[in-house]
Amino acid sequence: MAAGRAKPGKALRLALAGAQGRMGKAVLSAALSAGGWTLASAWERPGHPELGRDAGEAAGLGRLGVALASAPDLSGADVAVDFSSPASTLATVAAAAAARVPVVIGTTGFDPRQRARLQAAARRIPMVMASNYSVGMNLLWKALQYVAHVTRDAYDVEIIEAHHHHKADSPSGTAMTTAEVLARALGRELPVWARFGRPKGVIGPRDPREIGLHTVRGGDIIGDHTVLFAGPGERLEFKHQAHSRDNFARGALLAARWLAEPGRRPGIHGMARVLGLE
């Protein structure tokens, strides 16, 4: 059997990047709870203190018989999942392209050159790439498109996101995707009209075409995103709150199963396609 394509009814073999990270542990826990998965390989960055230890035991999930490696190994995998860092994800994707294994990517913060490398690899393998794997958030993006088509320039649009104090990128990938969804629906160029916070002082009136993005960092907030449409005499607020990382992990595994279906074509796919929303 070729790598990346499991036979119907067989457990899928999962290769897991960043296996000791917050999302790596959540994905592994969700896979073990759901059933229908086996861990083919797991790895962490070079120098990680848990290298060589059983990946399941290191995650507090019991012995799985797979040692935590320091580099990607996709030789026995049907699909890979990567929620790590841009540089680490690129290494995973390079190994996956060589092994013809599809990849679910939850990493955010790629620069234009890194995105170009992902697109080049996607000519060889299928990928799902999303800033948020929550079913609820993906449904919210769909709803926001409709609201923006109706409200147009009559309502001011602001996005507020909050995450834990460990999060490295700002605004969050989910907030940026939200802004992109709104910009397309409103017919605006996001690089022109995005406003990342606002400076202190007298800044003048707000341009109705602005799309505001505001970042909060603190404590152990998993992820809160609020979209405000402020119009004449009323306002609409749409909020998504993540209470745990389990919903992201379940969505990533849903995307992984979708990728592993026979006949999936190379390219970068979004979560909306996985959920049948486009």
Rounded to 5, what percent of the chain is helix, strand, coil? Answer: 35, 25, 40
Residues in CB range of 130: below 8 A, 6 or more apart: 105, 106, 138, 177, 251, 255, 270, 271
What's the rounded Cα separation, in Å, for the pair 63 and 42?
Answer: 13
pLDDT per residue as tens digits for the range 24-83:
999 999 999 999 999 999 999 999 999 999 999 999 999 999 999 999 999 899 999 999
- Locate tokens 């406003």: which residue? 195
What's the rounded Cα separation, in Å, for the pair 114 and 59?
Answer: 29
Q: What's residue 2's pLDDT?
A: 36
pLDDT per residue as tens digits for the range 116-165:
999 999 999 999 999 999 999 999 999 999 999 999 999 999 999 999 99
Give, in order, the Cα–Cα distances in Å from 16 to each of 62, 148, 175: 16, 38, 26
Question: What are the chain's domains?
Answer: 12-129+245-274 (3.40.50.720), 135-242 (3.30.360.10)
CB 105 within 8 A of CB 118: yes
Instruction: Label residue 186 by pLDDT band (50, 70, 90).
Output: very high
Instruction: Label residue 168 by pLDDT band (50, 70, 90).
Output: confident
Q: What's residue 1's pLDDT?
A: 26
What's the rounded Cα separation, in Å, for the pair 192 and 188?
Answer: 8
Report pTM: 0.85
pLDDT at 3 over 80: no
Instruction: Label residue 9 by pLDDT band (50, 70, 90).
Output: low
Q: Which residues are catalytic?
A: 163, 167
Give, in order, the Cα–Cα distances in Å from 33 to each of 59, 170, 274: 14, 32, 21
What's the rounded Cα separation, in Å, for the pair 242 and 237?
Answer: 16
Q: What's residue 144's pLDDT?
A: 98
- Locate tokens 């969700």: which residue? 30
pLDDT per residue as tens digits for the range 206-246:
999 999 999 999 999 999 999 999 999 999 999 999 999 99
